[in-house]
Amino acid sequence: MAARRANELRPVRITRGYTGSAYGSVLIEAGRTKVLCTVSLTKEVPPFLRGKGEGWVTAEYGMLPGSTRERNQRKAGDGRSQEIQRLIGRSLRAVVDRKLLGENTLWIDCDVLEADGGTRTASITGAYVALHDALTRMKAEGLIAKWPLTSQVAAVSVGIVDGKSLLDLDYALDVRAEVDMNIVRTSRGQFVEVQGTGEHGTFSERQLAALLKLAERGIDQLFRMQRRALAGGRR
């Protein structure tokens, strides 16, 4: 396989209606990473929202045991998973006007079928499409009156490997990266999250600026892919 360029995304595939039981169900593939994003509905809200007429959007994230080269044990709610699911939930809530949801909760489940790096960002990008499908069905069923999405949201990882800025790290690159950064942005050009971490190195202001630029272009491509997937009819 020809090497990717530093500013090139891995091939992305978005399959809508992957399973039929949930309100929204999207399989997103980015290179060898595969994440199933489903959106389920419960007609109630958490205690802190009861009686306020608003809805809620929450997320859970898990990895199947066989999704990694070394089998990883089933473990509900380890630290890494919780950190990721909090990120996914925040990212999607940033583009939903919860006042328009009624007292409903949308549960976004992102389950990794195969993990080759970038599972949290693929989860966000795929979950947006699944949420769009779920809201379309809620509207059709009369559960919501007005369209609650205020923009698109997508995410990508960038990093510094051997001193070089790269877009969309796969697992092999990720373990070698000095700096790893996840960016979540809306289609209105606003950041939702900027998470840059230097475990094996640190980064200067100039490097930060370069990484942000790289991520921006990658996310703009993902917005086009989301729109293209949604343009196709359901299933």
Give the residues lining the site for a second copy (CB under 8 A). Answer: 18-22, 25, 32, 34, 36, 38-42, 60, 62, 64-71, 74-80, 82-83, 85-86, 90, 93-94, 107, 109, 111, 113-116, 181, 186, 188-199, 202-205, 208, 212
151 vs 231 by CB, closer to a second copy: 151
80 vs 227 by CB, closer to a second copy: 80
75 vs 164 by CB, closer to a second copy: 75
Query: Which run of H or of E encompasses 42?
Result: strand 33-42
Nearest approach, Cβ of 225 to a second copy (angstroms)?
21
In sequence order, the 6+-apart residues with CB closer than 8 A to the CB of 126 are 14, 26, 27, 28, 35, 37, 110
Nearest approach, Cβ of 15 to a second copy (angstroms)?
12
In sequence order, the 6+-apart residues with CB closer than 8 A to the CB of 62 are 76, 81, 109, 110, 111, 112
Nearest approach, Cβ of 205 to a second copy (angstroms)?
7
53 vs 228 by CB, closer to a second copy: 53
46 vs 231 by CB, closer to a second copy: 46
| Tokens at 106, concatenated | 């949308």
Nearest approach, Cβ of 79 to a second copy (angstroms)?
3
Q: Are 124 and 92 in contact (CB under 8 A)?
A: yes
Q: Is residue 226 exposed (0-12), middle (13-18) or buried (19+ Cβ within 10 Å)?
A: buried
Nearest approach, Cβ of 168 to a second copy (angstroms)?
18
Burial 172-189, CB ≥16 within 10 A → b, else e: ebeeebbbbbbbbbbbee
